[in-house]
Amino acid sequence: MKVFRTFAFLLVALSLVLAACAPAATEAPVEATEAPATEEAATEAPATEEPAAGLTCAEPIKVGLITDASGALAIYGAHILRSFMLGMEYATGAAGSAGEKFDFTQTQENTFMLDECEIVVYVRDDASNPENTATVA
């Protein structure tokens, strides 16, 4: 076994030495070739896009977020909750009705406005229990 290890080590060392002593690779010279002449096809002027009308909703859009605000996975639930609210703030361009920092212990609802459409986010805690998740949903 000791002879095998020594042989393997020498083989690896010899391979590294030979690789280091090899000449540097050179790239083959590239000859410049001229592209064949092509006739340009007649192009139409691009159609102008009309700006989209503002978003309007007859009823508020309801979004549910079930996370682990308590229980064994509460540390991850806090990250999920904060990242979701930051994503909503980014998408709508403003903080929600709960203010800059959403606190689950104070409120479990946050409202955002996107154009003329109201988006209500309902947050519920499943206490890190899958059975509670089904009940809360």
pLDDT digits (tens, 9 = 90+) for 75-125: 998 888 888 888 888 888 888 777 777 777 777 888 888 888 889 888 888
CB 121 within 8 A of CB 111: yes
79 assigned to some structural domain: yes
Question: Is 18 inside any structural domain?
Answer: no
Contact 82, 68 (CB under 8 A): no
Domain range for residue 75? 61-136
- Report if residue 65 sits inside a domain: yes
Give 104's strand partners.
Answer: none
| Confidence at 40, pLDDT banded by 50, 70, 90 | low
DSSP for 26-82, written as a single string? -PPPPPP-PPPP-PPPP-PPPPPPPPPPPPB-SS-EEEEEEE-SSSTTHHHHHHHHH
Among residues of the chain, what percentage have pLDDT more than 90? 4
Domain-located, residue 122: yes
Q: Is residue 100 part of a domain?
A: yes
The whole-model pTM stands at: 0.55
Domain tally, the chain: 1
Looking up tokens 């393997």 gives 8
Rounded to 5 degrees, φ, ψ at 74 are -60, -35
